[in-house]
């Protein structure tokens, strides 16, 4: 077990000496978390399905003096999750580091219940539930061997409250938060901390297009965000760094909502 920083009045938010894996880092929130983790001192491994965007990110991080590896990886494929775990072991054999895993890869859609197909349902569950679970299992196994690790799963305010046309997504994100709580109880004795970071509506390439095509819906969501604006990926970085760093070492099984007051309003 890593020595804990008990009694210090200076919480340590640095990510130096950590190897952080961020899934779905080719764009959006995951990309910004990856850049922020590298800036905070972590060596990073970024994954997604689009190689060109991962190469761009690696170049960007390394230009700023960071250390970045990438692996093209689809989290709906369990064999590829095992490949990611093998890749991490290979990197750890070069240098011992504490592990941080951010299960960020995901997507959403807005559809009335009667229009949801089996294919839609399977993709939502194989990405968010099965993908997140097996990333926790395969990479968590390496953390367990080492007696320390931090897992951050991306939830959503739709895992707490709901809206029309979001049933499969709400179900998946509620599942991620509850799964994280359940794993936290099993792995806390072994030094693994696992929490959920739950954003509200966040401006990305994808959401921007969606909200432009559904202005009434965007207005409805915005009216529930009491700080009066949508989030940006940068709004999530403080919570992500906190949960990855030793400053949060006594926190596990929690969901942190980064939501401008959305869930407080119900």
> Which listed residue (22, 45, 57, 108) binds ligand NAP by CB under 6 A?
108
Q: Is the dihedral of CA 157, 160, 164, 167 positive or negative?
A: positive
Interface with ligand NAP, residue 83, by CB under 6 A: no
The distance between the two most distant Cα atoms of the chain, rounded to a whole number of Å, is 55
159 binds ligand NAP (CB under 6 A): no
Window contacting ligand NAP (CB under 6 A); options: 7-15, 28-36, 62-70, 113-121: 28-36
If one asks whether residue 204 binds ligand NAP (CB under 6 A), the answer comes out as yes
Q: Which of 60, 74, 163, 249 binds ligand NAP (CB under 6 A)?
A: 74
φ and ψ at 90, to 5 degrees? -65, -45
Cβ at position 247, least distance to ligand NAP in Å: 22
Identify which of 235, 250, 251, 240 has the alpha carbon closest to the alpha carbon of residue 42.
Answer: 240
What one-character DSSP code corresponds to residue 3?
A: P
Q: Measure the CA–CA gap between 41 and 36, rounded to whole angstroms.
A: 9
Encoded tokens for 34? 């990856």
Cβ distance to ligand NAP smaller for residue 5 or 82: 82
Radius of gyration, alpha carbons of the chain: 18
Under the criterion CB under 6 A, does residue 255 sit at the interface with ligand NAP? no
Catalytic residues: 169
| Chain residues in the site for ligand NAP (CB under 6 A) | 23-30, 48-50, 53, 73-76, 104-108, 127, 154, 156, 199, 201-202, 204, 206-207
């Amino acid at each position: 077990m890593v020595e804990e920083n008990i009694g210090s009045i200076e919480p340590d938010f640095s990510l130096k000496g950590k190897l952080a894996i961020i899934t779905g880092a080719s764009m959006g929130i995951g990309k910004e978390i990856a850049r922020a983790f590298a800036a905070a001192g972590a060596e990073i491994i970024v994954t997604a399905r689009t190689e060109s965007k991962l190469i761009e990110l690696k170049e960007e991080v390394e230009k700023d003096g960071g250390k970045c590896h990438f692996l093209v990886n689809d989290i709906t494929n369990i064999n590829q999750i095992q490949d990611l775990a093998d890749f991490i072991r290979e990197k750890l054999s070069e240098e011992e580091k504490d592990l941080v895993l951010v299960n960020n890869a995901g997507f959403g859609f807005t559809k009335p219940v009667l229009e949801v197909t089996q294919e839609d349902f399977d993709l939502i569950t194989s990405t968010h539930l099965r993908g997140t679970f097996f990333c926790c299992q395969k990479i968590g196994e390496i953390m367990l061997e080492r007696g320390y690790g931090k897992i951050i799963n991306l939830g959503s305010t739709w895992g707490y409250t709901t809206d029309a046309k979001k049933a499969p997504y709400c179900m998946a994100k509620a599942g991620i938060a509850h799964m994280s709580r359940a794993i936290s109880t099993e792995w806390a004795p072994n030094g693994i901390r696992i929490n959920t970071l739950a954003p509200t509506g966040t401006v990305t390439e994808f959401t921007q297009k969606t909200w432009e095509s559904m202005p009434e819906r965007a207005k409805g969501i915005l009216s529930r965000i009491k700080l009066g604006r949508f989030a940006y990926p940068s709004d999530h970085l403080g919570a992500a760094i906190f949960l990855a760093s030793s400053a949060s070492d006594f926190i596990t099984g929690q969901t942190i909502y980064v939501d401008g007051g959305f869930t407080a309003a119900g």
